[in-house]
Amino acid sequence: MQFTINGNRMDLIMDPRTSLLDLLRDHLGLGGTKKGCNQGACGACTVLVDGERINSCLALAVQYEGRSITTIEGLAAQGSLHPLQQAFVDHDGFQCGYCTPGQICSAVGMADEVKRAVPSYVTEDLLLDEIELTDSELRERMSGNICRCGAYNGIVDAIRETFAADRTEPNDRETAR
Ligand code: FES
Ligand code: FES
């Protein structure tokens, strides 16, 4: 099977019953993606597939053959933290850190959904071309990512600073620092 993982094209031979999460962690040594519940309830295993967030524990790797997969290891470009990673540090957005890679991958995918005006459960006007990332939108859209340490206020602050404070692209803001 052929995949592109964090920009690297890979041809792999594996049992077709292997989950995407187990492929990443156990076969490729990408331990940043975490296994929490292993049944789609916690979000710790969230990765991006062609920019869309999925729970990798619920996916068979074979379903994503030929696709581009990004894990937390792939978000930090050339040794420097992604702006959202830095914001998590700045706002104490984690304690044990177990949920953090999933939170960050999920938030990156979530921000793209907002940019594309994909409505959420709390979006009142479904015909809007632009959706504001209010705190209620943010909390609803991130509700699939559980933090057992309860670091939610810091998580929300970090995501708000990175994606909701203005419409500037995060990488542009990083350059401007
Ligand atoms: S480990 Fe996948 S949702 Fe919990
Ligand atoms: S920081 Fe510990 S589970 Fe979220």
pLDDT, one tens digit per residue, over 17-40 is: 999 999 999 999 999 999 999 999
Residues in the ligand 2 pocket, defined by CB under 6 Å: 94-100, 147-149, 151
Please name which of 91, 51, 71, 82 lies closest in space to residue 173, comparing C-alpha atoms.
82
Please name which of 138, 155, 37 lies closest in space to residue 90, comparing C-alpha atoms.
155
pLDDT digits (tens, 9 = 90+) for 37-96: 999 999 999 999 999 999 999 999 999 999 999 999 999 877 899 999 999 999 999 999
Is the CB of 53 within 6 Å of ligand 1?
A: no
> How many Å is the maximal CA-CA distance in the chain?
47
Structure tokens at 39: 């049944």
Is the CB of 114 within 6 Å of ligand 1?
A: no
Which residue type occupies 84?
L
Residue 144 backbone dihedrals phi, psi, to 5 degrees: -80, -5
Is the CB of 40 within 6 Å of ligand 1?
A: yes
Whole-prediction pTM: 0.91
